[in-house]
Amino acid sequence: MDQVNTLIKDFGIPKPSKSTILSIGAAISVSYLCWKIIRLIKPPRKLSHIPHISFYCHVKSIIERKPYSQISREFVMPLLISSSTIGYLKPDALGWTLNITNPEATKDFFLKTDIYPKANFKVGKGTLFQNFIGDDNIAFASGGNEWKKHRKLVNPAFHKNMPIKLFTTLTHKVFKVLDDANEKPINATKLLERFTLQAIGLAGFGFDFDAILNPDSEWVTVYANIRAGIADPLYFVFPWLDQKLLWLLPKRQEAHRLSDRFHGMMDGLIEEKRQLLRQQKTKHDQDECADAEKDILTLMLEAELSGEGTLTHEELKSNLNVFFLAGHDTTANALSAAIYHLATHPMIQQKARDEALSILGDDPEDVFPTLQEIKRFKYINQIIKETLRFHAPAINGLPRVVTQDTELAGVFLPKGTPVLVNTYDLHHNPCVWTNPDRFDPARFDKDSDAELRPSMSWVPFYNGQRMCIGMQFSLMEQRVLLSCLLRKYEWRLPDDSKHKDELITGNIGLLVAKDLDVIFKRRY
């Protein structure tokens, strides 16, 4: 109203009636709203040369809970086939975002961190995801000294931590669950989520969730409800429900309370370990536990006490929550997908079993693989790599923002453009991979010419400076579980499996296999 009156006064226009002023104000408001909607549903003019998925199709597919594989086939692959492009545009949290699906562009994106730095933004302030994971961590540090501060403590801890004995001990607990099932279908998705939950709890900060043998334990239930709330597509598409209308949503309020409760548990663990390490340092106690089997929190606190760097309590907790969320769900998804592909390809499963038996022995008893034995796996590693290509646990990594007008693999990008690598679509790009919808571990046989492809065609852990620091941790966990499973069991899908034709997953963030039932049969 004031703006309309100012225009009237400045231009000497006769003062209109109140109803006319209200009409003009309404017209201006509607025009502004239309402009905002157009910006939301249509890519910016400066990016019109890049193909895009329509806003309507994108949102509709998410709300309908279509598997991402179906969304990719329907909307993405036609763009990649019909266009010689570096990728495509899709509406995201930062606006219309370039999803890279081209190896050449991927390489530039990862290596030119001055032009493509981490996006400097707070992740959904006020959302459940932000409540759980926090802001001050290595994943969301935008760069420079802030990122280096986190990396200085975090990176060495992950390099030292490789708890093979722990992974094997937990695998033997998985055997107990499979034996109790007595060749009846068992939900492998849920079981593997519990396995990786207990693994990251113990290996990450020394907390036993008692998840494998006790699926209804207190903290398993707490975390499951938090995780379900974070993955809810309604709040992903409309984050303002969390931010503005939480007071109207009692179930959502409960999810936030559970996240606060989880933080309270973490606070107690951090303080307890700090005190214990201070006492050991004062008393000159000798810790005989090898670094490889120490939890990550202990290694980070030891590095801090030795003067290698310092993180605040909140920074330390936020980093642990990042490791927890990323290290638990992604590895569980990768293992679920590997078990699915081995179930649907019995010849590949048997070839992998033969390798496991040749290295770990065929005696009818449970074994503890050594690091030297695990390093000898060749075909099992190929299966893991092909699984991570076919079903990368996360659709994409965190976005970055272009700092200046530039060209990426010959395509103009204006300053301010959000950019990320869409690992799923890159790994299924028919211009990069031969028969990308066929599961074929031979692609990764270094002794054959099964697949000739450019570098950075396979990036499930991203690449460059900001490559996932938990990569070796996850790969080791997968090798231990799969090799031990192959020695003791054969498995297949039930005849009526809904995954018979393809693995059905979600479509946001992490690709979780939906209720993957599998039948395991003991070999000894």
At 503 the pLDDT is 94
Could you give the angle at the alpha carbon of 245 between the alpha carbons of 32 and 122, nearest 5°?
75
Q: Let me know if 38 is exposed, middle or buried by CB neighbors in 10 A (0-12, 13-18, 19+).
A: exposed
Please report, as a single letter, which amino acid is at residue 296: I
Contact at 8 Å (CB) between 522 and 486?
A: no
pLDDT of residue 286: 47
Residue type, 20: T
C-alpha–C-alpha distance, residues 75 and 127, integer Å: 29
Query: Residue 483's closest CA among 357, 343, 386, 389?
Result: 357
CA quadruple 124, 324, 181, 377: dihedral positive or negative? positive
* Structure tokens, 50: 């890049």
Mean pLDDT by 10 residues, the chain (524 residues): 51 55 51 49 89 87 87 92 85 89 94 82 75 77 67 70 90 97 96 95 90 92 90 80 89 94 91 83 52 80 77 84 82 96 98 98 94 96 97 86 93 94 95 94 80 84 82 94 98 96 85 93 95
Report CA-CA distances (Å) from 124 to 53, 67, 86, 238. Answer: 23, 24, 28, 10
pLDDT at 276: 84
pLDDT of residue 293: 76
C-alpha distance across the termini of the chain, in Å: 82
The domains of the chain, with CATH numbers, are 2-41 (no CATH), 46-131+139-522 (1.10.630.10)
Q: DSSP letter at 487?
A: H
Q: What is the DSSP letter of 15?
A: P
The DSSP-derived string for 143-212 is SHHHHHHHHHHHHHHHHH---HHHHHHHHHHHHHHHHHHTTS-EEHHHHHHHHHHHHHHHHHHS-----S
Looking at the DSSP bridge assignments, the partners of residue 9 are: none
Q: How far apart are CA 145 and CA 148, in angstroms?
A: 5
- Tell me which residue of 300, 303, 339, 306 sits closest to 323, measured CA to CA: 300
The answer to whether 484 is annotated as binding is no
Using CA of residue 389, residue 391, residue 176, residue 209, what is the dihedral sign?
Answer: positive
| pLDDT score for 126 | 84
- The pLDDT score that the predictor gives to residue 50 is 93
Farthest CA pair distance, the chain: 99
Backbone angles phi, psi at 399, to 5 degrees: -75, 160
